[in-house]
Amino acid sequence: MHRFRYQGDVLFVEEVSTAVLAEKYGTPLYVYSAGTVLDHYDRLVASLRALDPLVCYAVKANSNLALLRLLAARGSGFDLVSGGELYRVLQAGGDPARCTFAGVGKTDREIEEALEAGIYSFIVESREELSAINRAAVRLRKKAPVALRVNPDVGARTHAKIKTGVAESKFGIPAEEIEEVYRELPRFSHLRLRGMQIHIGSQIRDVEPFAEAVGRVIPLVAMARDRFGAEFFDIGGGLGIAYEEALQSGDPGWWESKTGWATPARYAQRLLPLLSPLGLRTIVEPGRLLVGNAGILLTRVLYRKDGPSRKFVIVDAGMNDLIRPALYGSFHQIVPVIRRGGDPIEADVVGPVCESGDRFAESRRMPPVTAGDLLAIFSAGAYGFSMASQYNSRPRPAEVLVEGAKHRLIRRRESYEDLVRGEPGAEEEPGGPQGERTPKESHELANG
Helix boundaries (H) for 34-153: 34-47, 65-74, 83-91, 108-117, 127-140
Coil, strand or helix at 99:
strand
Cis status of the peptide bond prior to 145, with omega within 30 of 0: no
Coil, strand or helix at 288:
helix
How far is it, in rounded angstroms, from Cα 20 to Cα 16? 8
- Cβ–Cβ < 8 Å for 100, 234: yes
Summary count for the chain: helices (H), strands (E): 14, 21
- Helix (H) / strand (E) element for 338: namely none
Query: Quick check: is 354 catalytic?
Result: yes
Measured distance between the N- and C-terminal CA atoms of the chain, rounded to whole angstroms: 38
Phi, psi of 121 (to 5 degrees): -165, 145
Phi, psi of 34 (to 5 degrees): -65, -40
Return the beta strands (E) in 273-358 as ranges: 281-284, 295-306, 311-315, 334-336, 345-350
Catalytically annotated residue among 141, 342, 354, 405: 354
Return the beta strands (E) in 70-217 as ranges: 77-80, 99-101, 121-124, 144-151, 173-174, 191-197
CA 172 from centroid of its chain's CA atoms: 19
What region, left, alpha or beta, does residue 193 occupy, with left being phi > 0 and alpha being psi -120 to 50 degrees?
Answer: beta
CA distances from 312 to 64, 301, 304, 391 (A): 32, 10, 6, 22
**What amino acid positions are annotated as catalytic residues?**
354
